[in-house]
A and B are shown apart, each in its own frame.
Chain A
Amino acid sequence: MAAGKRHVLLKKPCFPPFNSRNLQLSSFPGKNLKQGRKPAALLQHQRTFIQMRTVLKVVDNSGAKKVMCIQPLKGKKGARLGDTIIASVKEAAPNGKVKKGAVVRGVVVRAAMQRGRCDGSEVKFDDNAVVIIDKQGQPVGSRVFGPVPHELRKKKHVKILALAEHIA
């Protein structure tokens, strides 16, 4: 945000891409979207927890690309921003530390569901992303991409914050 003054918009407003990903998160009845036409229900996306079968993006360089949650640790309904999950690697880069089919743990660093902050405001991100960690809580990769919330500090994931390129 430019220094608190007027909000400078580019000529073509680059709003976040609004495609049909993460539909399993919402209670949205899976209509097939034609090109450019969005049913009204899509605009009322109710973002929910990260639960079993949720596919998340991996934002470190551990080798995995997509990971499917098989169990949220803590949380009856599911994991939120900052929680750890147990996941199965669904898609991986050919030469990486983590291979496809492996069962790993991860920390949710971005969640489309809003999370309340202690000052009363709420934060939400654009997608669901996870950083793969080991049993001790140390990240497996050496880089983290994209913004991460500072909720991680409270959860003692200091290393991830150190690797992050932007802390939201």
Chain B
Amino acid sequence: MRLEKCWFCSSTVYPGHGIQFVRNDAKIFRFCRSKCHKNFKMKRNPRKVKWTKAYRRLHGKDMTQDTTFEFERKRNRPERYDRNLAENTLKAIKKIDKVRSDRAASHIEKRLKVRKGKERREAQKELEQSIHLVKAPQALREDQSLTLPKIKVQVSQPKSEQNQAMEE
């Protein structure tokens, strides 16, 4: 049993899933589901299709270089079954998986953090430049601290004679 990678989206193909297409030059394309298969038939380049791993890695959205990837190399030699080895491997797989996903998550977080700072700076600039849209310049000149007006407005509608008449 071997877990393959989908040619299009790079997700794992588990046994019993997917289609394997053998081209006449003996190149084998494995697909995890018909979505990938159909995209392939449409001759789409996975490096240009946004949701594939190939695109994400190419455009720096996902982590590309990490030592945890070294553990997942393709091995062609079958190992003789050894219970201890199997047990340790399973434990290691869990741990390596966790480490890798944590690192990948932090990579994405770092990437998105940059935007937050940028947004803050832009907001600050907008506040300084376009405050005249919100507050009259005369009022600003009088009192410099009135940049963020926080005026409480009581929203209570006393039922006057006129309102009652209008409601009817």
Stretch at the interface among A24-32, A60-68, A70-78, A124-132: A124-132
Judge if B19 is at the interface, Cβ distance under 8 Å.
yes
List 5 other contacts, CB 8 Å, given A15-B43, A43-B41: A114-B19, A121-B16, A122-B19, A126-B24, A147-B24
Stretch at the interface among A4-12, A94-102, A133-141, A155-163: A4-12
- Once the chains are docked, how many angstroms separate the CA of A18 from the CA of B42? 10
Kindly supply a per-residue 1/0 record for chain A positions 92-130, scoring 1 wherever the CB is within 8 Å of any chain B CB and 0 otherwise. Answer: 000000000000000000100010000111111111000
Within 8 A of A (CB), among B18-34: 18-24, 26-28, 30
Contact A4 B74 (CB under 8 A): yes
Contact A9 B45 (CB under 8 A): yes
Q: Shortest CB–CB separation between residue A8 and chain B, in angstroms? A: 10
Partner of A168, one of B7, B19, B26: B26
Contact A146 B20 (CB under 8 A): no
CB<8 Å pairs between A and B, sample of 25 = A1-B27, A1-B30, A4-B5, A4-B72, A4-B73, A5-B73, A7-B7, A7-B46, A9-B46, A9-B47, A13-B43, A15-B43, A16-B24, A18-B43, A43-B42, A110-B22, A114-B19, A119-B1, A121-B20, A122-B20, A123-B19, A123-B22, A124-B20, A165-B26, A168-B22
Set of chain B residues within 8 Å of A123, measured between Cβ atoms = 19-22
Q: How many pairs of residues, A versus B, come closer than 8 Å at their CB atoms?
A: 82
- A6-B54, A7-B54 known; A147 vs B26 contact (CB < 8 Å): yes
Contact B22 A125 (CB under 8 A): yes
9 closest A-B pairs (Cβ-Cβ)? Answer: A120-B16, A4-B74, A166-B26, A147-B26, A168-B22, A15-B43, A122-B19, A123-B20, A126-B24
- A1-B28, A119-B15 known; A15 vs B22 contact (CB < 8 Å): no
Q: Shortest CB–CB separation between residue A9 and chain B, in angstroms? A: 7
Contact B16 A126 (CB under 8 A): no
Judge if B11 is at the interface, Cβ distance under 8 Å.
no
Q: Shortest CB–CB separation between residue B18 and chain A, in angstroms? A: 6
- Once the chains are docked, how many angstroms separate the CA of A154 from the CA of B106? 50
- A3-B73, A6-B57, A16-B23 known; A121 vs B7 contact (CB < 8 Å): no
- Once the chains are docked, how many angstroms separate the CA of A40 from the CA of B90? 47
Judge if B17 is at the interface, Cβ distance under 8 Å.
yes
With both beta carbons as reference points, the residue of chain B lying nearest to A2 in the complex is identified as B74
Set of chain A residues within 8 Å of B54, measured between Cβ atoms = 6-7
- Once the chains are docked, how many angstroms separate the CA of A21 from the CA of B22? 17
